[in-house]
Structure 1
Amino acid sequence: MTEKRKGARSIKDIPGDILEQLNKGEIETANLTEWLAVDQKLLLKNLLLQNNRTEYLKPILQNVDKLKKQTVNMVNETIGVGLLQYALKNQDEEFLLKLPAHPADLVRCWAAYTVGRNDTLKVKDKLKKLQTFALDSHFGVREICWMTVRPDISGNLIESVSILATWTTHTNENIRRFASESTRPRGVWCEHIAELKQNPGLGLEILEPLRSDSSRYVQDSVGNWLNDASKSQPEFVIEICDEWLRESPTKETQYIVKKALRTIRK
């Protein structure tokens, strides 16, 4: 069964039939190597052929070709935003509704952009719709989905933090992690949130409930959040870590604190 494969360690070792299935959108990637190997332009072509939307192909590919750097994430974003743009222009809601359940994880990433960058939606509505993607079984979709709404979170910080704070008690670790990861002051592969770099206390409404979270996936995110903050506000992070260790001396909190202080302790 292809669903249970571990995936090749290098792109050259990916079997030809697997790569063909990936580019046709028939299966999802098994690991980061496969994720990087997918020809997103070809995948887009196949998606549009399969859905009789070939008129979207040329203008979206033109936008991809204009990119100065065609990284996987930049191409992913450009295609996702392009699909949104042309679907809205053609009032093609039917097509957009198909994408979140597509077998290919990269198509589901594009689908996340059709939500996160849809300016007809308010930030609260975007976040609500993105929960589906935050719950996705695939690592790539979970990582991309918070990036799609990051500009809105930054531009509507107080409202976004208030909404995301309610996610910290969710039973699913992926939802809890989204709350933390999406608000990291420095983030990964995305613009920084200047307001949180200077005043990380604004994020405590999210961080406090997660300080002893049972999930290592969440713990890593919280530790990285505070490590981000330590690069501009080290005293704040030291104070918070000391407080957490006093009030919550669990192994989970100790792990988060160690991760949070790694830059300060260098």
Structure 2
Amino acid sequence: MNKEIINRKGARKAQDIPKEVLELLNLGKIETVNLTEWLAIDHLKLIQTNFTEIGISEENIHLISQKIRTQKKPSTMNTTKLVGSTLYESYSKDKTLNSIFDNLSTHLSDSIRCYAPYLKSLNENLSISEKLKESEKLVADNHFGVREVVWMALRPEIDGDLEKSIDILSNWTKSKNENIRRFTTESTRPRGVWCKHISRLKEKPELALPILENLKSDKSKYVQDSVGNWLNDASKSEPNFVIELCERLKKESRTKETEKIIKRETRTIYKK
């Protein structure tokens, strides 16, 4: 394949994506490299080109395609969730469910991998421990799109069994993989982005201290930003908690990493 395509930085506007690149993306032959490309994917073409090999029947390909065409509020995120949830509904009682999940989650196309999280998150036969464990490879995925979709897919499940989830995720904070560490805070943000708030963490952010304490001086900027955003969320409903934690961290963790987190977490408080 052309090295210019492989090493591309990605267009800033959808209309500037080269036709050859867009064709390869829609065929599932290459990954997207930025948000512009990710939003430009033609999911109908992607599905119709790849789903037979993944193990999806023609009947279900047709069903999913019809649902995509008749969406009331079409968007990349809504389409991704629609495809993932429809696949689960169609195969939840089928013996091929696990093989379909494996085929989706290991596909070259990041957009196809994004469908996979819903096959785990919606599975009523799995506990939150099992859902998290079986989604860990997706959590660690190298692609930004997959990582964002997987925390959004699992977030309602985490909220539904919060104490157990926090217990599991506090252990994940010790992972060598920064993507896994970042998931622990991104998936539990009290307010979050493009998602329903977690009311209990808005009211009692101290429940998440087992996670936050372990990441207070994380070396990764990717993780630092997420921790700071988590605490900034908390400051909007429980500013005293954040102020007190901030003062304690200043004394207990005199690192530049902690300083960066504190600066980010208090930005809303100091605007008031």
Name the structure 2 match of 1:230: 235
Name the structure 1 match of 2:136: 131
Name the structure 1 match of 2:33: 30
- For residues 93-112 of structure 1, what are the structure 2 equivalents within 5 Å? 93=97, 94-112=99-117
Name the structure 2 match of 1:194: 199
The CA deviation at 1:85 is 1.8
Q: Is the 8 A contact 1:196 1:202 kept in 2?
A: yes
Q: Is the 8 A contact 2:54 2:104 kept in 1?
A: no
- Alignment pair present for 1:69 and 2:73: yes
Name the structure 2 match of 1:142: 147
Q: Which amino acid is the alignment partner of residue 168 of structure 1?
A: T
Deviations 1:42-80 (A, max 9, x none): 211212244462211222233334533112111111101
Q: Secondary structure at the match of 1:220?
A: helix
CA distance in 1, matches of 2:52, 2:168: 39
- Alignment pair present for 1:151 and 2:147: no
Deviations 1:13-60 (A, max 9, x none): 111111111111111101111001001122112122444622112222
Q: Is the 8 A contact 1:87 1:96 kept in 2?
A: no
CA distance in 2, matches of 1:61, 1:86: 13
38-47 or 126-135, which moves further after superposition?
A: 38-47
The CA deviation at 1:159 is 0.5
- Alignment pair present for 1:6 and 2:9: yes
Q: Which amino acid is the alignment partner of residue 173 of structure 1?
A: E
- Alignment pair present for 1:84 and 2:88: yes
Q: Is the 8 A contact 1:26 1:104 kept in 2?
A: yes
Q: Which amino acid is the alignment partner of residue 170 of structure 1?
A: S
CA distance in 2, matches of 1:190, 1:64: 21
Q: Which amino acid is the alignment partner of residue 114 of structure 1?
A: L
Q: Secondary structure at the match of 1:190?
A: coil
Cα separation, partners in 2 of 1:90 and 1:55, compared to 1, 3 Å: farther
Q: Which amino acid is the alignment partner of residue 61 of structure 1?
A: S
Q: Between Structure 1 and Structure 2, how many residues are aligned? A: 266
CA distance in 2, matches of 1:90, 1:44: 20
Q: Is the 8 A contact 1:48 1:56 kept in 2?
A: no
Name the structure 1 match of 2:255: 250
CA distance in 2, matches of 1:157, 1:65: 36
Cα separation, partners in 2 of 1:51 and 1:246, compared to 1, 3 Å: closer
CA distance in 2, matches of 1:210, 1:96: 31
The CA deviation at 1:97 is 2.1
Deviations 1:92-130 (A, max 9, x none): 233332111100001101012212222221110010011
Q: Which amino acid is the alignment partner of residue 125 of structure 1?
A: E
| Amino-acid identity (%) | 48
Scaled by the length of structure 1, the TM-score of the pair is 0.96
Q: Secondary structure at the match of 1:160?
A: helix
The CA deviation at 1:90 is 3.8
Q: Secondary structure at the match of 1:169?
A: coil
Scaled by the length of structure 2, the TM-score of the pair is 0.94
Name the structure 2 match of 1:19: 22
Deviations 1:164-208 (A, max 9, x none): 000011111111101111110011111100000000000111000
Q: Which amino acid is the alignment partner of residue 18 of structure 1?
A: V
Q: Secondary structure at the match of 1:191?
A: coil
The CA deviation at 1:88 is 2.4
Q: Which amino acid is the alignment partner of residue 165 of structure 1?
A: S
Q: Give unmatched runs, 5+ long, in structure 1.
A: none
- Alignment pair present for 1:58 and 2:62: yes
